[in-house]
């Protein structure tokens, strides 16, 4: 089962990579970019979605690495 991967701020600083619905972080990093790189690798391997949150907890961006039911249309 593939889980969407979330990059979220850590409670005591730094950034966490958490699978959707998980209580504990998979990985804790000092920088957001490190967390994004790790989460992107996991989501690509699991064919899931990467969801990146800001310090305020709101979603900043998302990137689908799975079987997107609504893929973007070709511009051609």
Give the Cα separation of 21 and 61 in Å (integer).
19
Is the pTM value of this prediction over 0.75? yes
Domain assignments of the chain as residue spans, ordered by start: 5-61
Per-position pLDDT tens, the chain of length 76:
568 999 999 999 999 999 999 999 999 999 999 999 999 999 999 999 999 999 999 999 999 877 666 666 666 5
Burial of 9 (0-12, 13-18, 19+ CB in 10 A): middle
Q: Which tokens go with 20? A: 């959707």
């Amino acid at each position: 089962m593939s889980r969407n991967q979330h990059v979220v701020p850590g409670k005591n600083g730094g950034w966490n990579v958490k699978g959707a619905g998980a209580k504990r972080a998979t990985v804790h990093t000092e920088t957001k970019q490190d967390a994004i790189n790790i989460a992107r690798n996991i989501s690509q391997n699991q064919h899931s979605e990467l969801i990146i949150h800001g310090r305020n907890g709101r979603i900043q961006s998302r990137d689908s690495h799975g079987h997107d039911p609504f893929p973007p249309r070709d511009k051609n």
